[in-house]
Structure 1
Amino acid sequence: MIKNDICGCPVTLTSSVALEAWNGVIHGLLSHGRETPVHLGRAMDEEPDFAMGHAARGLFCLMTGRAEVIAPAHAALAAARTAAQNTPVTMRETGWINALARWLEGSPTGAIACVEEVLSALPHDTLSAKLSHGIRFMLGDSAGMRRSIERVLPAHNNSHPCVGYLMGCHAFTLEETGDYEQAERIGRRGLMFAPDDAWGLHAVAHVCDMTARAADGIALIEGNTAAWEGSNNFRYHVWWHKALLHIERGEFDVALGLYDAQIRADKTDDYRDISNATSLLMRLELEGMDIGPRWEELADFSENRVEDGCLVFADLHYLLALTGADRGPARDAMTARFARDCAKSTDMAARVDAPGTAALAGLNAFSEGKYDTAFLNLAAARPLMPTIGGSYAQRDVFERMTIDAGLRAGYYDATKAILHDRLKQRGGHIDRFAATRFERLNTARDIAAE
């Protein structure tokens, strides 16, 4: 039997209980809700042969970017294929099964292609739009994210139950492609339709970061707690954004206080939580702040991730922890693993080769005070850094390290060019970091001239 879910799309479910649970999965994924796995479990308990549920479980596993989920994802694929043999499935479900298979073959870009086929037939499928959006985000494909969302926008009118969440995705793609004014307008409007859209709220926070409007960003976060307080660990990322905005105002103690009280309140090893923590600590260290022994806890988790190799974005943040705590053997092991991974023929292996290897060498050199080597490697990696995934705000920690390495090594002209390029990416808005580094650059040049 086929029913329609809240996206108005067909699913091969027979019971209203299973459908209600599946709708909970959709809402949970779109809102970054804590109960998403619970809803999926209920749907599968009610109808164990639900092929799309098995495929969803596998895809959700892979989106966590952890090596230990690969085996469960393979098991989910096998269960989905068996279920599809036992019960006729829709093309939407087939598309999700194929997407899982392609990703497990080492091609998340192939997975995206499968999901986009579904969206061509079902442009009102907000769930598939969010899946494509999420995988593209992991690959740093901001232009592709925007194209994908804008293709399905016409199918999401104001009466669509999920329109607010799609607006949040659209706002994020607009911000990541530099259209800050429209991003903020659509992001705020989306919150009117979906007040619990943590992703949409965070898209507007990104705008405030990129346009150096710290006070507006802090007010936005504090004034819309309903959008993110009840979310899963994504709420730590919202706290991270608030900490960045306090750094922008020079309130380093406030940022470190948020780190202890909120961002690392739960000592998880989720790569997204580790990236929040390591990038914040590095930003504070670059501003001359003593962050004490906080690197140690992060390095303990990161040592266990040296061989993961799921995401270059995650690897480089693990490395920040390893260098911060001076875990030499673990750093060497990650360097060796990068060399091995370069020889593979997968989407991620290509990113390990470039920009991963140069970025890794640059970060290692930075930690050793070899700023000449650090700058040359980080600057070489810089053009391809968007391909490691994440957002401009997240990758900005590597941009800051590149600039500071250039200043310390005396590459004044090259550093000035990077500062201006960073300024251009931000629509000409000068943030605190840029202002202080331009000042240091001018001072260094005056000293050199004397």
Structure 2
Amino acid sequence: MPQTDHFGYPLTLPGPAALAPWRATVSAFLAHGSSTPEHLAETLRLAPDFALGHASHGLFCLLLARRELVTVAEADWHRAKEAADRVGATARERAVVDALRDWLDGAPRKAADRLDQTLTAHPADALLMKLVHGIRFVLGDGGGMRRSIETVLPSYGADHPALGYALGCHAFALEETGDYARAEREGRRAVSLAGDDAWGLHAVAHVLDMTGRAEEGRAWLETNTGAFDHCNNFRYHVWWHLALMYLDKGEIDRVIELYDNDIRAERTDDYRDISNAASLLVRLEIEGVNVGGRWDELARLSETRVDDRCNVFADLHYLISLEAGDRRRAADRMLASVSAHAEEDTDMGRIAGTAGEPAALGLDAYYRGSYFSAFRHLSAARPHLVTIGGSHAQRDVFERITIDAALKAGLAQDAEDLLRARLSLRGGLDRFAAERLEQAARMKRAAAIMQDKRLRAVPA
């Protein structure tokens, strides 16, 4: 009897034994569950010739952006291809195998396009939907995320087992494309339907952050911890969002407490964890907070990732950690690595060239105290930074550094222009912007006084 997943699509499994762990794998993946790897391992133990299982594992590895896992993903592709050739695979399963090959060949955009094409024939497949969403997130393709989910959303009726997770993805895509009111509605509905939908929960947190509603954001996250306490490393990212809310409220002690006890609860070198920590410490330092020796741990871990060149977003956060942690030699190696990455004829290589290299030069200049140079390089990177992936909230650290560099370089009008552009994107005034707009205004008033000829001394 053919086996089917919980969306009604056939699976090339040898029998029913592996069906339950595979369904558990997909459910956990949709919820960012920490149990995903163990369910997938059990599936492949029971069905070692399951091509879709091997290919999915390979894509999971590539999403983690670690050089050593590229080798694992390559082995996964070989296992998947051999299994598909030996025992067969459906067209849907083969598409995932081929998408893994695309990404391994340096073309994650092609992988996402291939999976989207497969989704047109299998619109109710939440695994494909989430894989596309994840790959396009890595590419900073908010419009692509939204088009993909909105194409298949009509297939998610009230009885679809993954409706809540689909709405969570839709909510995040809506937020990243600026439709904040609709994103908030969809995200809240997602969590009401799937209580463990951390992605939908965090989509609402994004909206509340982008619209300057820190107190609402605090309450939303603190009253819904059950939606993310089951998560893998993603739970640290949700704690990071809570820290941003407290930072905007000016409650620095609480931010530090969250950093030490939750955000860095496990001192991993996972790039998502490093980026959470580094970007929060930068925000604190821009506010004049002494973060003590916390950079040392991040810098020590980042030294081991200098040659990864898997993800430009990750590399820039490693560089921040190295610069702030005073690892000069390693920072220089990181700059050289980004430059080498920019020479590669791959999707990520092109992103490194247009966004990564100028941003890296700007960060290096900033930490050397060359603020005008930092502003110039970061401004050159700015139109392209969306392509490094992550979210508006995550990339905002580069906005803040650029604005801080402009102010420190005495470029009040440039700082104000950046703040106005940032406000237009966000849709709400936060404390950071309000204080810097006032600072820029004071600088401009002071400059006007200094340039007023009427106030100059007249020679006797």
TM-score by length of 2: 0.97
Measure, in 2, the Cα distance between the counterparts of 1:338 and 1:267.
Answer: 25
* 1:381 aligns to 2:377 (yes or no): no
Structure 1 partner of 2:429: 430
Letter in 2 for 1:355: A
Measure, in 1, the Cα distance between the counterparts of 2:248 and 2:436.
Answer: 13
In the TM superposition, 1:261-276 aligns within 5 A as: 261-276=261-276
Structure 2 partner of 1:294: 294
In the TM superposition, 1:12-31 aligns within 5 A as: 12-31=12-31
* 1:317 aligns to 2:328 (yes or no): no
Per-residue CA deviations over 1:125-171 (Å, capped at 9, x if unaligned) read: 01100000000000000010000000000000111000000000000
Structure 2 partner of 1:408: 408
Structure 2 partner of 1:343: 343
- SS of alignment partner, residue 7 of structure 1: coil
Q: Does the 8 Å CA contact 1:51/1:93 hold for their aligned counterparts?
A: yes
Structure 2 partner of 1:87: 87
In the TM superposition, 1:27-426 aligns within 5 A as: 27-426=27-426
- SS of alignment partner, residue 390 of structure 2: coil
Q: Tell me how far 1:18 sits from its aligned partner.
A: 0.6
Letter in 2 for 1:444: M
Q: Does the 8 Å CA contact 2:80/2:97 hold for their aligned counterparts?
A: yes
Structure 2 partner of 1:11: 11
Q: Tell me how far 1:244 sits from its aligned partner.
A: 0.2
Where structure 2 has 5 or more consecutive residues not aligned to the other structure, the ranges are 450-460
- SS of alignment partner, residue 304 of structure 1: helix
Measure, in 1, the Cα distance between the counterparts of 2:15 and 2:216.
Answer: 47
Q: Tell me how far 1:113 sits from its aligned partner.
A: 1.5
Measure, in 2, the Cα distance between the counterparts of 1:316 and 1:344.
Answer: 17
> How many correspondences in the alignment?
449
Per-residue CA deviations over 1:295-315 (Å, capped at 9, x if unaligned) read: 000001100111100011000
Measure, in 1, the Cα distance between the counterparts of 2:258 and 2:116.
Answer: 39
Q: Tell me how far 1:17 sits from its aligned partner.
A: 2.6
Q: Does the 8 Å CA contact 1:95/1:117 hold for their aligned counterparts?
A: no
Measure, in 1, the Cα distance between the counterparts of 2:408 and 2:313.
Answer: 25
Letter in 2 for 1:266: E
Measure, in 1, the Cα distance between the counterparts of 2:150 and 2:28.
Answer: 22
Per-residue CA deviations over 1:256-305 (Å, capped at 9, x if unaligned) read: 11000110010001000000000000000000000000000000110011
Measure, in 1, the Cα distance between the counterparts of 2:341 and 2:309.
Answer: 8
Per-residue CA deviations over 1:61-84 (Å, capped at 9, x if unaligned) read: 101000000111110000001101
Q: Does the 8 Å CA contact 2:406/2:412 hold for their aligned counterparts?
A: yes
- SS of alignment partner, residue 160 of structure 2: coil
TM-score by length of 1: 0.99
Structure 2 partner of 1:448: 447
Per-residue CA deviations over 1:414-444 (Å, capped at 9, x if unaligned) read: 22111111010012x1111110000110111
**Percent of aligned pairs with the same residue?**
52
Measure, in 2, the Cα distance between the counterparts of 1:440 and 1:252.
Answer: 21
Letter in 1 for 2:307: E
Measure, in 1, the Cα distance between the counterparts of 2:424 and 2:104.
Answer: 38
Per-residue CA deviations over 1:368-416 (Å, capped at 9, x if unaligned) read: 1110000001111101100000000000000000001011112222221
Larger radius of gyration: 2
Q: Tell me how far 1:15 sits from its aligned partner.
A: 2.7
Measure, in 2, the Cα distance between the counterparts of 1:235 and 1:344.
Answer: 34
Q: Tell me how far 1:365 sits from its aligned partner.
A: 0.6
Q: Tell me how far 1:448 sits from its aligned partner.
A: 1.8
Deviates more, 1:395-404 or 1:3-12: 3-12
Measure, in 2, the Cα distance between the counterparts of 1:368 and 1:252.
Answer: 26
Measure, in 1, the Cα distance between the counterparts of 2:208 and 2:368.
Answer: 34
- SS of alignment partner, residue 395 of structure 1: helix
Q: Tell me how far 1:29 sits from its aligned partner.
A: 0.6
Alignment RMSD, CA only?
0.8
Q: Does the 8 Å CA contact 1:274/1:317 hold for their aligned counterparts?
A: yes
Measure, in 1, the Cα distance between the counterparts of 2:205 and 2:235.
Answer: 13
